[in-house]
Amino acid sequence: MARRARGAIAPLLAIALWTGWADAQSGPTISSLPPVIYIGDNFVIGGSGFTPGSVANFFVATSNGAENFGPLIPNSDLPDSLAVFLPLSVTQGEGVASVVVVNTDQAHIQSNTALALLQGEPASGLPSLTAINGIGLSPTSTDPGIALANVETVVVPGATVTLTGSGFDTVNGIGVDLFCDCAGGKIGPFVIFGSNLTPNSVTFTLPSGPNAPAIGPGAFRITNLGNFFASAAVSVPIGEQIAISSVTQSGPTVTVEGQGFSGLTVLNLFNLQSGTVVNLGGLRSDGSPKIPLNLLSDHRLQFNVPAGVVAGPAYVQALNPPFIPFTSSGNSPGGAFAVH
């Protein structure tokens, strides 16, 4: 009797589910993702309008742009949820992933884009970096305009750094790279094992002197030496948080005093023109800066007044990659000056 009862329910359940699929004609919508998606594990996409033909395009932010590791075929699908396994072939990149659902059986109509942090499942031998010197990943990491794992603190050459996370290889050791505005683009790897290394943390001292990382933008990445799986590259400023203390003009040359300047610094130059504020700086479409800089030190830089400037109020804002709020001089009063 019990078996017969289950058989009677199954057609009703099928009818209910396919009624849900029929309601999906307007297309898929993502309403939720887990805060963290783990490589080597399943994750669930919540939403509506999913169909038997739904697949997930999975984009990972990398230093070379977004890389698509999809389409990923769900191993469980309902009109309001999709369970997807993330294979070990996916890299952590810069620690943030974006997901788009595509209904392949509805003319490939696409959903909105949803973002989540991307880390590795430690049981699969993948390391993850989640904090630097006790400061966790910034909530801005998954802002659509940023989409990059970052920590709002400063690491100092010659000082001790503690990296916290999971899945660190205590048997074979780890390698730590620090990407920076340095020769070759990074310093390291620092090979670490022994008492300074646990499965969840590593402590070491940044070099000082001629081998020190350059002041400015940086990013740490951890690699397990037993299998060479790597964590995300997590952004953090080196040496000083960028700031402007004063701006002066002499002839065509503008001198900016402050701290945290680097060879990668980009300037916004806001100028009041006919009652409207115009930005003459920033980046071109190819990623190059509109205002060339002469870096004199990490505390001073100069530039020539660009074409198009109008005499009167102006304001300089300095930014270091990855151009997030913590790596910007913000609206400090020191950036104001009068163009002449």
At residue 26's C-alpha, the angle toward residues 25 and 30, to 5°, is: 110
pLDDT interval class at 271 (50, 70, 90): very high
* 272-323: pLDDT as tens digits: 999 999 999 999 998 899 999 999 999 999 999 999 999 999 999 999 999 9
d(CA 147, CA 139): 10
Least confident of 62-66, 106-110, 299-303: 62-66
Q: What is the pTM of this model?
A: 0.87
The C-alpha R_g of the chain, in whole angstroms, comes to 25
pLDDT digits (tens, 9 = 90+) for 254-267: 999 999 999 999 99
Residue 25: per-residue pLDDT = 60
pLDDT tens digits, 200-232: 999 999 999 989 999 999 999 999 999 999 999
Q: Which structural domains are found in the chain, ordered by start?
A: 2-120 (2.60.40.10), 124-238 (2.60.40.10), 243-339 (2.60.40.10)
Alpha-carbon torsion, ordered 119, 123, 129, 132, to 10 deg: 140
Which band of pLDDT confidence, cut at 50, 70 and 90, is reported for residue 67?
very high
Residues belonging to the chain: 340
Could you count the other beta carbons within 10 Å of the beta carbon of residue 329? 25
Average pLDDT over residues 321-332: 93
Residue 173 has pLDDT above 70, yes or no: yes
